[in-house]
Structure 1
Amino acid sequence: MSDLEEPPRVLESGVGMKRALARWNQQLQRIHSPILRYSLSVACVALALGLALALQHYQFRDVELPVLCLAIAIVTWHAGIGPSVLAILLSTMSFNYFFIEPIHSFAVSTKDLPYFITFLAWGALVAWFSTVSRRIEAGLRLARDRLQTEVEHRAQREDEIRRLNRELAKRATDLEATNKDLESFAYSVSHDLRAPLRHLVGYSELLQKEASSSLDDKSRRYMQTILQSAKRMGNLIDDLLAFSRVGRAETQNSLVSLEQLVKEVVAELREETNGREIAWKVGALPACYGDRSMLKLVLANLVSNAVKFTRMRARAEIEIGCVDGKNNHEAEMFVRDNGAGFDMQYVDKLFGVFQRLHLAEQFEGNGIGLATVQRIIHRHGGKVRAEGAVDQGATFYFSLPNAQDAVERIRHDHTGTHFGR
């Protein structure tokens, strides 16, 4: 990783050095003191005039115009607009006084007027061109500085992204190891608890059978409470083992018809629903790619919950369907009932292990079903959510990737603590 971090630092130092050199060059090119700027204007025109006179002395003809224009360009480039105007005026006066007939006079004859005007126009053009060039250079320098700043910021952001990616990868690895340890611990503890619990139940039943006649009513009630609690704990351990197996089991993915799964689940619940009036409404359901047995367990838990929590209704209504959405990459199904419902302020606890929102005397269960649903759907790359109101029913939604996208999106469940109804 250190090799990845080195280029941004080298780039940053190189860019910083270039910017320092650019500022230094800019300081050399631009004189900020007004006295120095106007002194440079006078000095350049004086030097240009001396050079033009020397060249004229040695019989060089028509050199005064380019020499004075060069002085104007130098002043404009290094000193700015004000000194360039002064240079044009001084150059014009010098040109008129020393090089236009009558010599050593500021008068301009009609014959030399075009030549004089040409020099004035040429000097102004050179000054304007130098000003525009200076302005363009300043704009380019500003754009370069901005680009260099953006490069520096981007290098810093890339370095920060690499650092965050390393931290994220480390945390993901740690979380995966922790989850595996927790699953192994839960499986081992649950498995090891079954033997002593069987002994407790077995010997309690023997004691109840052998000593029942010698016990009073209170003692027999105590014995019955012990047996019921032990059996309930056995059910909890069985459910916890089943929940752990969901996270440890390998998925056998294939194309699954959810409509067929719903038919099978409803048929299996027929014995439980005998004698009850239940209005079933099953809509069109898509085919999804996933583990058939796990997805059947999802539907079995949700539908059996709907059957259980509508028990107090004279006419239960259970609807199973698919939500029409704009997301082409996944399908969202729902199971809706008109049962006991729940308070939405406790929705975060709904999918918790051993978390229940209703009393055990009202509705049986251990609070593992919805936690199992959430784990299975997460392993298939989907999401679970719920909506409801007290005594107004509940709706449970679960999403699954479409068959064409699911192969790439199915992943293992790496979530930590789960919650359940």
Structure 2
Amino acid sequence: MSSFKIQGGNTLKGEIIPQGAKNEALQIIAATLLTEEPVTLHKIPNIRDVNKLIELVGDLGASVEKLDSESYRITAKNLNVDFLESEQYKNKAASLRGSIMILGPLLARYGKAKIPKPGGDKIGRRRLDTHFLGFIKLGAKFNYSSKDSFYTIDASNLHGAYMLLDEASVTGTANILMAAVLAKGKTTIYNAACEPYIQQLCKMLNRMGAKIEGIGSNLLTIEGVDQLGGTEHTLLPDMIEIGSFIGLAAMTQSEITIKNAGVQELGLIPEVFKKLGVNMIIQDDDIMIPAQKRYEIDTFIDGSIMTVADAPWPGFTPDLLSIVLVTAIQAKGTVLVHQKMFESRLFFVDKLIDMGAQIILCDPHRATVIGLDRKQPLRGIKMSSPDIRAGVSLLIAALSAEGESIISNVEQIDRGYQNIDERLNLLGADIQRIEQH
């Protein structure tokens, strides 16, 4: 277990380069299992969840070569599907939610797969139904054993099908896509997720020889092919990190330039932070956030209180609502944060209230933030990180606070943010990592 000891109140200054996108990486790494040929990947973030999935791919028998700090070549020529029966696989796959992503490729290539109930964030119930219902439509049969919490899937005869997804699940869409590219015939996925990460996966698969149409829309058409070849792929910058840095700059009155931000792929993210009153200057592919003493939350045109809510892409990503909430603490004005998709993601606000924030938790999905307008600083406290995004929100709050804060369970933060303490210390933060054995 590790903790961060943070001395708050420092102003940061400088440039920071966002890591490769975590959520894209998990899909892309899994997709390398679809071909015998080498696949070279660039901008792979060095974070726990991604490293664990790379390790799992290697355990399955793929050759994994690390070319440099952010590049890998993965060749999945001779996979050992018997590894899925091992206790080692059960333990590793159960501790990583991203392990669900290997199902589609294994079903497509080997006609069978099994997986324990995956782990991940404690942010509320996250259904896997979309994945399995999609596989069933493609002709798979699956069995869930409550005794050992294992899903076993037989897909010896995958064929194309029409399906209307019950939710626009990003991982569900990716998994079904990867199963469908090698299935016989035509697959149509309606209400497909259309996030930039899904678009990236589709483009990569097409370069490998897949036939996917409708990229960027919620209606994907896949014509099955017999086999896929190798390719080279570079990940997008992580939009959640970019949003986190924007919020951090505002809260700590810092001037930060986010380099190579992939501005065209950020969707509503810059606009939502502008609604909170955060200034930013976009130059080419960089975002410069100037130091701001004060920032004021917009109201709606009729004068009513601003609401920020999450929605499937191209709506606002749920992963940044925690950051929006913490950024609003020192703004002038009031905002209602409505987290529709996960029912436990706002429970970390009690720590922010202990620090002096004015927040009303209305119910598990909604919190009202009454901005302090810098009238008083937050105060440092001891707290624990419940999930990746809440952990970084608490870190932002601690960096803006007066005095010392301790955040324990920072392994949760490490799952999604690469060397975050070292990178922020280079900008002038005072974060000390304490290893506890």
Structure with bigger helix share is: 1
Q: Please give the TM-score of this superposition, normalised by the length of structure 1.
A: 0.21
Structure with bigger strand share is: 2
Larger Rg: 1
